[in-house]
Copies of this chain bind each other. A is one copy, B any other.
Amino acid sequence: MTNDNRTFEARLDKLAEVAVRVGLGAVKGQEVVMTAPLDAVPLARRITHHAYKAGATIVTILYTDDATTLERFATASDESFDKATAWLYDGMAAAFRSGAARLAIVGENPSLLAGQDPAKVARANRARSAAYRPALDLIARSAINWTIVSAATPAWARTVFPDLPEAEAVARLWDAIFAASRVDAADPIEGWAEHNRALAVRTGILNEKRYAALRFTGPGTDLEVGLCDGHRWAGGAGKAENGITYNANIPTEEVFTTPHRARVNGHVAATKPLSYQGTLIQDIRVRFEGGAIVEAHASSGEDVLRKVLEIDEGSCRLGEVALVPHASPISLSGLLFYNTLYDENAASHIALGQAYAKTVEGGGEMTPEQQIAAGINASLIHIDWMIGSGEVDVDGVRQDGSVEPVMRKGAWV
């Protein structure tokens, strides 16, 4: 529900305050490195205000522009697509190592690259992923406080509300973002504290269960996801290595942990389309054997999906499994957002690729080789992908092989 008594500017300002005070948690004495689409300038400016107000030393905004991305695909020579701006990503990694916090505003056009050559898209993604790896590693292991928040851009809004005039679509999408991000509460900061407490109760229960595996069953799905020995469930606020408590996603509804990279078997059908780097991949159906995807289909974007699976040894294995009740506020909106930050918080999901080592006991201190041996997956990519719905059940498989219900028809048991 939106609160019509507040102006758009006031709600945008609250979202910015939540992004800084809840998302980043604290930025006193830190640089903030922000990325944002050009259409998100007003939100980026309000976030800048709240970051400086909270004691940030310098806020840097790196804007991305769909028009110049398309210009590259339309005009650049072939060699362009194996290149990436290593100097910029290395610079970001250097910023993180020297203590900077990281804030991403997302709101991409979900099908920006739909008309482009899938081979070029895959090459550009691969080059970018490789160049971004050092920075992503620091984020994946929570070396610093980081957060992702959304802005309603015209292209994204048109995808979510294809039948509405653009201005109305953008306004409706902002309403959905403000509601999901809990900024319409009388005291959004306290509202988030309460939400984080509820998620902590849920992770506490799951951590006591110590399941060996989760089993997902539903239309087109019968999948057993083995969990790492010593896995820990996380959700809501977490603590970064720099000691700062932060929320990595605004909004967030999920609790998640680390699957074992070699213990996933069965088949699964995605319950929502996946928007990956400007390509919409629809009706994904895959089969796992010994942790790896051995068969993959999609009704559109199958080329891009196959290229993703071939990126490296870990890109066809799981790095995350997350549970989200079908009654989450985002799910109840009934909207399909074509945006991972939203859709992943509307449904239980799995993620291909890089795992979060912190959700395994001692995982953060392991060498890369030790992580692999412990079943913690490694990859250039991390792609969330929805498999939950009101028709999907989840069971917990105990260490002794016995089974108990965890979710029924998408609701916590």
Contact = CB atoms under 8 A, between A and B. Distances in A.
Interface of A: 28-29, 31, 38, 41, 44-45, 48-49, 52-53, 55-63, 65, 67-68, 71-72, 74-77, 79-80, 83-88, 90-92, 94-95, 98, 100
B84 A91 contact: no
Contact of A87 (B55, B67, B79, B94): B94
Nearest to A64: B61
A57 B85 CA distance: 10
B63 A85 contact: no
Closest 7 CB pairs of A and B: A91-B91, A52-B75, A87-B95, A87-B94, A52-B76, A57-B83, A87-B91
18 contacts: A41-B65, A44-B68, A45-B68, A48-B72, A52-B80, A53-B75, A56-B80, A57-B76, A57-B77, A57-B83, A58-B84, A58-B85, A59-B72, A61-B68, A62-B62, A86-B98, A90-B91, A91-B94
Given A65-B45, A83-B58, A72 B94 contact: no
Given A61-B65, A90-B94, A56 B85 contact: no
B87 A71 contact: no
B41 A60 contact: no
B87 A98 contact: yes
A86 to B, nearest CB: 8
Contacts of A100: 87
A83 B83 CA distance: 31
B75 A57 contact: no
B76 A60 contact: no
A92 B87 contact: yes
Given A48-B71, A75-B52, A58 B87 contact: no
Contacts of A79: 29, 57
A67 to B, nearest CB: 5
Given A48-B68, A57-B80, 8 more contacts: A31-B85, A38-B63, A53-B75, A56-B76, A58-B72, A87-B91, A87-B92, A87-B95
A366 B52 CA distance: 43
Interface centre among A58, A63, A85 (most CB of B within 10 A): A58
A48 B44 CA distance: 23
Interface centre among A44, A77, A84, A91 (most CB of B within 10 A): A91
Contacts of A62: 62
B75 A60 contact: no
Contact of A71 (B41, B52, B68): B52
